């Protein structure tokens, strides 16, 4: 299952590591890791399968929002409405 989509240029999978793995890697207990992971978007839909997104957000200060994305693999960009 892919949560974060694919790069429209090189088709790279934009799913990163499991969100819950980070606090576990820092020595947190399973209960603490679950509390941490529940605070991130996507938890209600994906639960413990929730993953970090690898796409790099391109932020515009003037518009005060993300205006596009960059692929960490091919370095190409696309409009923000194209991901997901």
Bridge pairing between strands 65-70 and 56-60: antiparallel
- Mean pLDDT, the chain, rounded, equals 91
On the 0-12 / 13-18 / 19+ scale of CB atoms within 10 A, 7 is buried
How do residues 53-67 score in pLDDT, each as one tens digit?
A: 999 999 999 999 999
pLDDT at 13 over 60: yes
Confidence at 1, pLDDT banded by 50, 70, 90: confident
- What are the extents of the domains in the chain? 15-82
pLDDT score, position 82: 63
Confidence at 80, pLDDT banded by 50, 70, 90: confident
pLDDT at 9 over 60: yes
Confidence at 8, pLDDT banded by 50, 70, 90: very high
């Amino acid at each position: 299952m892919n949560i974060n989509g694919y790069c429209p240029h090189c088709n790279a999978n934009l799913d990163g590591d499991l969100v819950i793995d980070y606090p576990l890697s820092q020595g947190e207990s399973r209960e603490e890791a679950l509390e941490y992971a529940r605070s991130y978007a996507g938890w209600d839909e994906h639960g413990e399968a929730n993953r970090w997104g690898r796409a790099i957000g391109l932020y515009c200060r003037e518009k005060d929002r993300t205006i596009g994305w960059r692929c960490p693999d091919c370095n190409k960009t696309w409009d923000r409405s194209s991901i997901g």
